[in-house]
Amino acid sequence: MMIDVNVNLSRWPFRRVPLDETPRLVKKLKQHGIATAWAGSLDGILHRDVAAVNARLTAECRQFGGGLLRPVGTVNPTLPDWREDLRRCQEVHRMHAVRINPNYHGYRLDDDACDALFQAVARRGMIVQLALKMEDVRTHHPLMPVPTVDPQPLEALVDKYPDVPLIVMNNYGTIRGEAAARLVRAGRVYFETSHAEQVGALEKLIQQIPHERLLFGSHAPLFNLEANLFKFRESRLGGLLSTGIQRGNAQALLQSLR
């Protein structure tokens, strides 16, 4: 039974995708052995009423998740009441993590707003999920091209807040090789598997990143769930390594928060 740390609820604003209705998505996750899915809301990308986004997300997880969906809140530190949004995430909605989209929300990783967010999250002992992008830039609407988050300032941010658990999401082609290895050495940085799409993807990942810092993520429903599971079927990793990536590493991360 796996833990998927990268699931999205609601609808992508630019197109309909299969399984963008929560009951159908939950059914598919269960069919493929997902025991827990860390779910963020696609509404958090463009909606400015973040409090309402997080409240709807929590209600939807409770109504349709059957214990499978674990909500991950949106926080946008460029908005005036973001600290209250963060407080509600932890104290009202009992969320263990928040998901940030700097490129859609208009700030850089070396901006004061981002520094303030990490400082506040550090005090609360929560996980940060950093989405570097949401879809391939080639598929963006021509009136709304959104660049991938610039990862260059990330190492300095991790150096400053090494105890903040950080999950780098949707990473394919952005942070590679030694840059990824340096981040892992600098702090509690994890990478998820959704965007590793080449043949032998998992073997190539663990050449750069310790297997203890890899988590299973599907980016469903924007990405095909079966395609992400196939990476493990075609992999030559041993059973213990695969189980750690699929479940054990996420469990250990959650236990470290308590």
Amino acid at 176: R
Tokens of 130: 């950093």
Residues 29 and 225 sit within 8 Å (Cβ to Cβ): yes
Tokens standing for 18? 């299969």
pLDDT tens string 80-138 = 999 999 999 999 999 999 999 999 999 999 999 999 999 999 999 999 999 999 998 88
**Banded pLDDT at 234 (limits 50, 70, 90):** confident
Q: How many CA atoms lie within 13 A of 23 on its CB side?
A: 1
Q: In whole angstroms, give the CA distance from residue 1 to residue 152.
A: 36
> In a 3-state reduction of DSSP, which class is residue 129?
strand
Confidence (pLDDT) at 125: 97
**Domains, the chain, with CATH or none:** 2-256 (3.20.20.140)
Range with the lowest mean pLDDT among 57-66, 91-100, 193-202?
193-202
List of long-range contacts for 49-53, beta carbons under 8 Å, 24+ apart: 50/74, 50/75, 50/76, 50/79, 50/82, 50/85, 51/81, 51/84, 51/85, 51/88
In this structure, the strands spanning 127-131 and 97-100 are parallel
pLDDT of residue 198: 75
* Helix extents (H) in the chain: 22-31, 43-46, 50-64, 82-87, 102-105, 112-124, 154-160, 177-186, 201-208, 225-233, 239-243, 249-256
Least confident of 110-114, 145-149, 201-205: 201-205
Mean pLDDT of the region 219-242: 90
pLDDT of 235 = 85
Q: 3-state class of 75 per DSSP?
A: coil
pLDDT at 173: 82
> Which residue matches tokens 């990143």?
209
- What's the rounded Cα separation, in Å, for the pair 50 and 78? 11
